[in-house]
Amino acid sequence: MIKRTLFFENPAYLSTKNNQLVVKLTQSNETRTVPIEDIGMMVLENQQITFTNGLIEKLTYQNAAIVCCNQQHLPLSLISPLSGHSEYNERLRFQLEATLPLKKYLWQQTIVSKITNQANLLGLLGKQNDKLRKWSKEVLSGDTTNKESHSAAFYWDRIFDIPGFYRGQKEIAPNNLLNYGYAILRAVCARSLIGSGMLPALGIHHANKYNAYCLADDIMEPYRPFVDEVVYAIVQDNDDIEELTSHIKQQLLIIPAIDVTIDGKRSPLMVAMSRTTHSLYECFAGISRKILYPTL
């Protein structure tokens, strides 16, 4: 079953009763309820949202991700379980003992999948993708020739027909949309990694000592083009994308529910991400040698 993503942009008091999320809207004094077991993610945007510790406890037991936003309404932090699997100790040991050659091999698979999905998206949009097709076949173990970077420059130069566009956190729109979409994707990935019994901080490639989600940043890479596709559609349908309006955010919040395909089987992205993170665990445990990534 696909879990629900809930978005709160107005002041509210959030609590729990009878395994239900109880939402009391401050302005209208209206009360609504949602079964906690149905919730996969909550995005808390308004600075005047209050929630109880009992609610956090129940959401945590359901491995729900709670995303808190800053004063600029952008995702800032993620509340997630310390441990999301009954075999956490053993699975963490497998992750810690993963050899460097294995991690380089897994990173090679990740970059091949990412570049392939970038090429597929450009193809769907009727744009040039020949070099990406070529580079996806030339990725070495650990991507030592940096095909990811070469592909990114080629890809971002072609996907949006916007003069002066450059992919960067603080660059012109639609970077604001991409940043928001990737933050949602990152939360989905971190949630799935924890549910599969792994520590999101220990990456197979990313190793920034200030980054608590290095592994999430690794594993979400092949999923990024799915976010790009959503953003591209928003850009085509909206004349003004300088501001992240409520309407645009609602369109970005469908990301966990969009259908993706892994090995010919379609499922919502949030479900597919769980398959991906479980396959990563099997690679760490020596059960498999392949990470299951979706194909766009």
Tell me the sheet residues that pair with 20. 17, 35
CA 270 to the chain's CA centroid: 9
Torsion over CA: 26, 27, 31, 37 (sign) = negative
CA-nearest of 199, 222, 201, 223 to 213 is 201
Give the pairing type, strands 20-25 and 12-17.
antiparallel
Is 221 annotated as belonging to a binding site?
A: yes
DSSP per residue over 43-60, as a string?
EE--TTEEE-HHHHHHHH
Q: Running DSSP on this structure, what letter comes out for residue 3?
A: P
169 contacts 175 by C-beta, under 8 angstroms: yes
The angle at the Cα of 292, spanning 87 to 85, to the nearest 5 degrees, equals: 15
Q: Is 171 annotated as a binding residue?
A: no
How far is the CA of 249 from the CAs of 54, 94, 129, 153, 184, in angstroms?
Answer: 28, 38, 29, 27, 11
Q: What are φ and ψ of residue 116, in 5° steps?
A: -60, -45
| Cross-strand pairs, 79 | 66
Token couple for 137: 């076949």
Sign of the torsion angle spanned by Cα atoms 221, 226, 230, 233: positive
Distance, in Å, from the CA atom of 295 to the CA atom of 114, rounded to the nearest integer, reads 9
- 148 annotated to bind ligand: yes
Rounded to an integer, what distance in angstroms lies between the CA atom of residue 194 and that of residue 217? 14
Name the binding residues: 148, 206, 221
Name the binding residues for Mn(2+): 148, 206, 221
